[in-house]
């Protein structure tokens, strides 16, 4: 078997397109023989440091995004649904607490990193629920299969220097790669990191990997 190529996924659960990229990568993990390394970062910090702005802050882009997410949800078969109060939930509340929790999970119980991330996306982008309050975060962890005592212990560490520094390190690493938004994929091909921004660059990524792109749901028969 050929050596597994490394693909880093920089993401934030506040980003719906990150969810799309996340699900597609895991669908292709074994098909492409790649090693996916999840890099939970803080999108707000990346946007600020890179001078980028949320697309929803531009009215015409925001209107387009609403329609685009509906189409992408069906095409990618990911249950996306925009929060009822998008500005308050996404822009005002943000995701700092959630991403600190995800970071703490990565540091202490990495076996839960994938399901916890998915459950937080489900809450904000499918069930129209909060992802910032402690009880909401604990509920996501519970649905991901994490024992309650472990989740509560991690929740108590969100303001610790260790967790805050790890999240900052990941965010800084993203910036060093030239990342300005999420999702961002860094594929290490021939010992060189190649950056792909967004959830719609998989066909190009497949070509660079020398693999086939079978659509966003590769297990589904193509007519």
Residue 90 has pLDDT above 90, yes or no: no
What are 7's strand-pairing partners? Answer: 36, 187
Give percent of the chain with pLDDT exceeding 90. 81
The backbone torsions φ and ψ at residue 217, rounded to the nearest 5 degrees and listed phi first, read: -125, 80
What's the pLDDT at 61? 82
Contacts (Cβ under 8 Å, ≥6 apart) of 177: 10, 184, 186, 193, 195
Q: Are strands 184-189 and 34-40 parallel, antiparallel or unpaired?
A: unpaired
Helix (H, G, I), strand (E, B) or coil at 185: strand
Mean pLDDT of 194-210: 96
What's the pLDDT at 222? 52
Residue 208 has pLDDT above 60, yes or no: yes
Q: Model-level pTM?
A: 0.93
Summarised one tens digit per residue, pLDDT across range 124-152 is 999 999 998 999 999 999 999 999 999 99
What's the pLDDT at 223? 47
Q: Label residue 83 left, alpha or beta by phi (over 0 means left) and psi (-120 to 50 means alpha).
A: beta
Looking at every residue in the chain, the average pLDDT score rounds to 92
Residue 92 has pLDDT above 80, yes or no: no
End-to-end CA distance of the chain: 30
Residue 55 has pLDDT above 90, yes or no: no
Q: What CA–CA distance (Å, rounded) separates 131 from 181? A: 20
The backbone torsions φ and ψ at residue 78, rounded to the nearest 5 degrees and listed phi first, read: -125, 130
What's the pLDDT at 8? 98
Q: Which CATH superfamily is domain 5-209 in?
A: Glutaredoxin (3.40.30.10)
Helix (H, G, I), strand (E, B) or coil at 219: coil
Q: How confident is the model at residue 53 (pLDDT cuts 50, 70, 90)?
A: confident
Residue 220 burial (C-beta neighbours within 10 Å; 0-12, 13-18, 19+): exposed
Q: Label residue 163 left, alpha or beta by phi (over 0 means left) and psi (-120 to 50 means alpha).
A: alpha
Q: Are strands 184-189 and 192-197 parallel, antiparallel or unpaired?
A: antiparallel
How many Cβ atoms from other residues are within 10 Å of residue 207's Cβ?
Answer: 11
Contact indicator for 84, 90 with CB cutoff of 8 Å: no
- Give the helix/strand (H/E) hosting 6: strand 5-11
Q: How confident is the model at residue 58 (pLDDT cuts 50, 70, 90)?
A: confident
What residue spans define the domains of the chain? Answer: 5-209
Angle between helices 148-155 and 96-108 in degrees, nearest 10? 120
Give percent of the chain with pLDDT exceeding 70. 95
Q: How confident is the model at residue 220 (pLDDT cuts 50, 70, 90)?
A: low
What's the pLDDT at 1? 43
Residue 94 has pLDDT above 90, yes or no: no
What is the gyration radius of the CA atoms in the chain, in angstroms?
A: 17
Helix (H, G, I), strand (E, B) or coil at 135: helix
């Amino acid at each position: 078997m050929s050596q597994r190529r490394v693909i880093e996924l920089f993401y934030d659960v506040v980003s719906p397109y990150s969810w799309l990229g996340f699900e597609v990568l895991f669908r292709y993990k074994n098909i492409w023989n790649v090693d996916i390394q999840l890099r939970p970062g803080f999108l707000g910090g990346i946007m600020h440091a890179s001078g980028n702005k949320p697309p929803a802050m531009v009215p015409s882009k925001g209107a387009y995004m609403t329609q685009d997410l509906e189409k992408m949800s069906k095409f990618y078969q990911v249950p996306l649904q925009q929060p009822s109060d998008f500005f308050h939930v996404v822009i005002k509340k943000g995701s700092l607490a959630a991403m600190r929790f995800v970071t703490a999970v990565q540091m202490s119980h990495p076996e839960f990193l994938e399901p916890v991330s998915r459950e937080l996306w489900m809450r904000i982008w499918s069930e129209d629920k909060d992802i910032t309050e402690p009880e909401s975060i604990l509920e996501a962890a519970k649905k991901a299969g994490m024992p309650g005592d472990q989740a509560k212990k991690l929740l108590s560490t969100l303001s610790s220097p260790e967790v805050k520094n790890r999240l900052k390190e990941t965010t800084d690493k993203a910036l060093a790669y030239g990342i300005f938004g999420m999702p961002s994929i860094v594929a290490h091909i021939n010992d060189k990191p190649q950056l792909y921004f967004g959830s719609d660059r998989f066909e190009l990524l497949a070509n660079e990997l020398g693999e086939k792109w079978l659509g966003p749901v590769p297990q589904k028969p193509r007519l």
